[in-house]
Amino acid sequence: MHPHLHDIDDAVWITHPAWADGTPPLQAPVLRWSGSVGSPVRAARLTVAGLGVWEARVNGAPSSADVLEPGVSETRTRVATVSHDVTSLLREGVNELVVELGEGPSHVREVEGRYTKFVGLRVAPRARVALVVETADGRTERHVSGPRWGAMLGPTTLSHWYGGEDYDARLDPAGWHTADSTPDAGWEPAAVVGGPQDGPRPWERQAPPMRVVDVVEERTRLPLPDGATVDLGRNLAGRQVLRLGPGFPAGARVEMFPAEYVHDDGRADQSSTGRTIVDRYTAAGGAATWRPRFCYHGFRYLQLRVVAADGTVLPTDDVHVSAEQIMTDDPVVGGFATSDATLQGVYDLVVRAAESNLYSVPTDCPHREKLGWLEQLDQVFEPVSARFDVSAHYADMITHMLDSQTLDGLIPDIAPELVVFEDGFRDDVSWGGVVWHLPRHLHRQYGDLAPARQAWDAGVRYLDYVERSAGGGLLDHGLGDWITLDDSTPRPLVATYGWVRMLDSATEVAEALGRSEDAARFRGRAGELRAMLEEEYVSGDGGDLVVGSGSQASLALLVDLGALGAARREAAGQQLVARIHEAGDRITVGEIGLAALQRVLVERGEHELLRTVYTRLDVPSYGTMLAAGETTLHEHWTGRATDGSANHFMLGYVAHWLTGSVAGLRQDVGSVAWERALVAPAPVEGVESASTHHDSPAGRYSVAWRRDEEGLVLRVVVPAAGSARLVLPDGFDPATTGEVSVRDLGPGTHVRRLVERPGVV
C-alpha cells in the first residue's frame, strides 16, 4: 500500500517508560491502543514510522504479510514509513492495535555471550503510529500515538540484530494482543520521547517490502548427546519456525543455533563469526508455534537443545522446525535452464546467494555482516537484474549513499554507514564509485534517469574527493583486487582502473542528462588517466609485452578498460589466455578482476575456456563449490578452507555469461530499457540445450537452442515493443541458403536451423 506520510503529522514518538532514558532493559517494548471505531467501516489504514524493527497486530492479526519492517536506513536522518490496509481486520465495538518493537540495526549493543558485528546505539526502539478509519457516512477518525496509549515490556526478552532473539511465552499474558485484554493487564501509560518534528523524518522508500517467499522443511536430523542438528538441505536467509507438541513442559527452553556448516561431530559451526548466535524460546507449556520476528539468520543447519526448568537436558522428539526464506519482494523477471547439470548448478548458486542478500539494503552476507557493501550493486548488476526487477529496490540505494556521504565528499564502502571502518574498508573507489555506476545501470536497464538526477551533486563531490586523494597522480588506495589469489597486481593499477570506470559511468550519465560539457570534461580526464596507466604499467609490444605485474588481473583490467592501443590490446588478450593455461586452466583474479576477465574472454570468444575454468573440480572454481555440497556462493575462491561466509553473491558475475552468452540473450550495446537485444548464443561443447528469458521494460525476450543431428535449432521471441540483433555462433552456418550470420529481428517468434561446419568440434 502506498504510504500516507501525512497520517502521522500529529503523532508523537512513544515507547515504554523503561526505554525512555538511562540504560534500557533487554526486554522489548510493546505499545497499545484500544478503543471503538465508527461503523460501518468503509476503509482503514495503519501508518507506522517505527525505529528498530516492528510488527503490528490489529485484533490479534498481523497488519500485513510484510516482515522486518521498516528495513534498514540511516535512522539519524530518515525512517521508512509504511501504511497497511487493515479494513478487514477491524470489527464492531472495541478494537485493539498493538505494535511490538525490536532493537534492529539502529540499536545494536554488546550482549554477553552473543555475536555482534558492531556496537552502534543510534536510536532506541520507538514509534509514531496512526490508525485512520473512514466510515460509510463520510467521517474520518484518526487515532494517533500519544501519552494515552499503553505500554508494557513484552515476552521478547532479547532482540539482537546479530546475536539472536529470546522469547519467554510465560510473559505473554492471555489476550494481550487481542481486544479482550483489559487496561489493568500489565499496561501502563506510554512515554512520549519526541514530538512530530523530532527524530528522523518519515521517508517513502521505493523498495518493495520483505516477505516470506518460500518454506523449507527439515531434510534430515542428526541426533546429538544433548539434542539434535537439523539439515534443511540448502543455505538460505530467513528464520526458523519452531513447533512444539502438546506435551511440551512449561519452563523448558529450546535453544536453536543457526549455522552454515557443522563440525565433524554434527554440532553447529559458527566459527566464521567467532561468537554465538542463538535463539531461545521458553515455553508456557503445551503446543506452540514461534518464529523470530525482529532478526533473521543465514543458515542451512539448526542445532537444537532442550533444557528443562531444572536444568535437565530433554529429548528433542517434541520439537519440530522448518525455515521461512525471506527476501525483498522483487519481482522475478528472468531465468536460465540448460541440459548441463554443472552449469545449471552454477546458475542456481548465484540465484540463491542473491536471494539471500536482497534485503531492504542488499547485503554481502546474511549471517555475519548484514551490511550494504556497495561494490556488489555494480559488479553483479547484470546477473541480478536479469533475474529480478530491482528498479525500485536499487533506487533506494542512491538515498542511502547520499545519507552516508561525508563532509569531504567520501562515499563510504557501505551504505547506510552503520559502522565506520578504516582504510580500504571505508575508502575504495570501486565501492564509492557506485554513486555513478548505479545510476548508469538503472538508466540502461530501465530507462530511469531519476536516480542519476538525485545522485548528481553527490557524485560530483565524490569525483572531487578522489581527485584530491590521488594528488595529481595515479590513485593508490583501497582493497586492491579483493580476494585475489595473486596479490602481485599493483594496487594503483586496480584503484585507478576503478577511478577510470567511474569516470566512464559519469560520462554516460552526463550524456543521458544532456550535460554535454560535463561529459566532455569527464571523458577527457578518463583519457588522461588511461594514458598514465599505459605509461606506468605497460612496456614492450607483441611477445615482449609486459602489463603490470603480468598477473591475470593486470592484463584483464587494462584490456577491459581500453587503456591499450589495438596491437597491444590483442597481444595482451592473447597473453591473458596464455596465463590462464599456464596456471593449469585456473583463474587467479579476485572480485574486481573477475568481471573484467570474463568480459575480455567473452569478447575474444573464449567460451570453452570460461566453461573449463568455471566448472573445474579444484580451487578456484564454481565446480569446486558444487562438489563440496555448497548451495550458495562462497565468499572466497578457496571455499570453507578460508574463514568466510558461504552465502555471498559478489562472485556472481558468472551468471551473466550463462544467460548472456551460453543461452545468448543480453541487451545490445547502446540500447536503453531493452529497446534492442543482442541474441548471440555460444553453444559450448557437450551442452545439448540452453534457454533464457527476460521480462524487460519492452516486454519478454526469450532465447532457446538445442542440438540435433545436423546442428542447432534456435528459437527467439522478440516482444512487440522490442527488436533484436541476431549473431549466429561461431562454427555454425544458416541452413537456409543465402541467409546471413548477422541480421536484425523484429517482434515475433523466429526459428532458425543452424548447420555445424565440418571439422568444428
Q: Are 206 and 392 in contact (CB under 8 A)?
A: yes
- pLDDT, tens digit, 9 for 90 and up, residues 195-247: 999 999 999 999 999 999 999 999 999 999 999 999 999 999 999 999 999 99
C-alpha cell recorded at residue 546: 609486459
Q: Is the pLDDT of residue 183 over 70?
A: no
C-alpha cell recorded at residue 637: 575462491
Enter the CATH code of domain 334-662: 1.50.10.10
Partnered with residue 31 across adjacent β-strands are: 99, 151
The CA–CA distances, whole Å, from 619 to 21, 332, 461, 488, 541 equal: 53, 32, 41, 19, 32
Beta strands in 145-219 (DSSP E): 150-153, 156-160, 164-168, 188-189, 191-194, 201-203, 210-217
> Which residue stretches of 419-490 are H helix?
429-432, 434-446, 450-470
Band the pLDDT of 642: cuts 50, 70, 90. Answer: low
Residues 6+ apart with CB under 8 A from 264: none
Tell me what pLDDT residue 736 has: 81
Task: Output 741 or 584, whichever has higher pLDDT.
Answer: 584
- b or e along 242-280 (b: 16 or more beta carbons within 10 Å of the residue's beta carbon)? bebeeebeeebbbbbbbbbbbeeebbbbbebbeeebbbb
Q: Residue 45 corresponds to which amino acid?
A: R
CATH 2.60.120.260 intervals, the chain: 5-205, 211-328
Band the pLDDT of 529: cuts 50, 70, 90. Answer: very high
The helix/strand/coil state of 187 is: coil
Band the pLDDT of 175: cuts 50, 70, 90. Answer: low
What's the CA gap between 244 and 97, in Å, rounded?
28
The CA–CA distances, whole Å, from 281 to 111, 289, 512, 558, 583 equal: 17, 10, 55, 55, 52
Q: What is the mean pLDDT of residues 705-710?
A: 94
The number of helices, as runs of H, and strands, as runs of E, in the chain is 15, 40
Residue 737 φ then ψ, to 5° = -60, 130
What's the CA gap between 84 and 10, in Å, rounded?
19
Q: Which burial class, exposed, middle or buried, applies to 92 when counting CB atoms under 10 A from its CB (0-12, 13-18, 19+)? A: exposed
Q: Please report how the helices 552-561 and 591-603 are oriented relative to each other, as an axis angle in degrees rounded to 10.
A: 60
- pLDDT, tens digit, 9 for 90 and up, residues 108-156: 999 999 999 999 999 999 999 999 999 999 999 999 999 999 999 999 9
CATH superfamily ID and name for 5-205: Galactose-binding domain-like (2.60.120.260)
- pLDDT, tens digit, 9 for 90 and up, residues 281-315: 999 999 999 999 999 999 999 999 999 999 999 99
**Other C-beta atoms within 10 Å of 744: how many?**
10
Q: Are 338 and 663 in contact (CB under 8 A)?
A: yes
pTM, rounded to two decimals: 0.97
Instruction: Give the containing element (helix H, strand E) for 448.
Output: none
Band the pLDDT of 759: cuts 50, 70, 90. Answer: low
| From 172-181, 673-682, 685-694, the region with the lowest mean pLDDT | 172-181
- pLDDT, tens digit, 9 for 90 and up, residues 550-569: 999 999 999 999 999 999 99
Q: What is the mean pLDDT of residues 378-388?
A: 99
Q: Is the pLDDT of residue 429 over 60?
A: yes
The CA–CA distances, whole Å, from 264 to 166, 259, 378, 423, 632 equal: 28, 13, 38, 37, 21
Band the pLDDT of 425: cuts 50, 70, 90. Answer: very high
Band the pLDDT of 177: cuts 50, 70, 90. Answer: low
DSSP string, 480-494: -STT-S-TTS-HHHH
Q: What is the mean pLDDT of residues 51-69?
A: 97
Q: What is the mean pLDDT of residues 258-271?
A: 97
Q: What is the mean pLDDT of residues 155-167?
A: 98
Instruction: Give the containing element (helix H, strand E) for 553.
Output: helix 552-561
Task: Output 730 or 462, whichever has higher pLDDT.
Answer: 462
Q: Which burial class, exposed, middle or buried, applies to 211 when counting CB atoms under 10 A from its CB (0-12, 13-18, 19+)? A: middle
Q: Which burial class, exposed, middle or buried, applies to 118 when counting CB atoms under 10 A from its CB (0-12, 13-18, 19+)? A: middle
CATH 2.60.420.10 intervals, the chain: 677-756
Signed CA dihedral, 284, 289, 294, 295: sign only: positive
Task: Output 21 or 248, whichever has higher pLDDT.
Answer: 248
CATH 1.50.10.10 intervals, the chain: 334-662
Enter the CATH code of domain 211-328: 2.60.120.260
Q: Is the pLDDT of residue 720 over 80?
A: yes
Q: Is the peptide bond before 3 cis (omega within 30 degrees of 0)?
A: no
Tell me what pLDDT residue 38 has: 85
Q: What is the mean pLDDT of residues 355-372?
A: 97
What's the CA gap between 665 and 230, in Å, rounded?
40
Residue 596 φ then ψ, to 5° = -65, -45
Average pLDDT across the chain, whole number: 96
Tell me what pLDDT residue 39 has: 82
Nearest to 595 by CA among 632, 564, 553, 563: 553
Q: Please report how the helices 491-512 and 552-561 are oriented relative to each other, as an axis angle in degrees rounded to 10.
A: 20
Signed CA dihedral, 643, 647, 650, 654: sign only: positive
Partnered with residue 256 across adjacent β-strands are: 279, 304
Q: Is the pLDDT of residue 760 over 60?
A: no
The CA–CA distances, whole Å, from 474 to 23, 116, 265, 531, 556 equal: 49, 37, 52, 11, 18
Q: Is the pLDDT of residue 10 over 90?
A: yes
Enter the CATH code of domain 677-756: 2.60.420.10
- pLDDT, tens digit, 9 for 90 and up, residues 320-348: 999 999 999 999 999 999 999 999 999 99
Q: Please report how the helices 450-470 and 491-512 are oriented relative to each other, as an axis angle in degrees rounded to 10.
A: 150
Q: Which burial class, exposed, middle or buried, applies to 761 when counting CB atoms under 10 A from its CB (0-12, 13-18, 19+)? A: exposed
What's the CA gap between 223 and 230, in Å, rounded?
9
Q: Which burial class, exposed, middle or buried, applies to 225 when counting CB atoms under 10 A from its CB (0-12, 13-18, 19+)? A: exposed
- pLDDT, tens digit, 9 for 90 and up, residues 573-597: 999 999 999 999 999 999 999 999 9
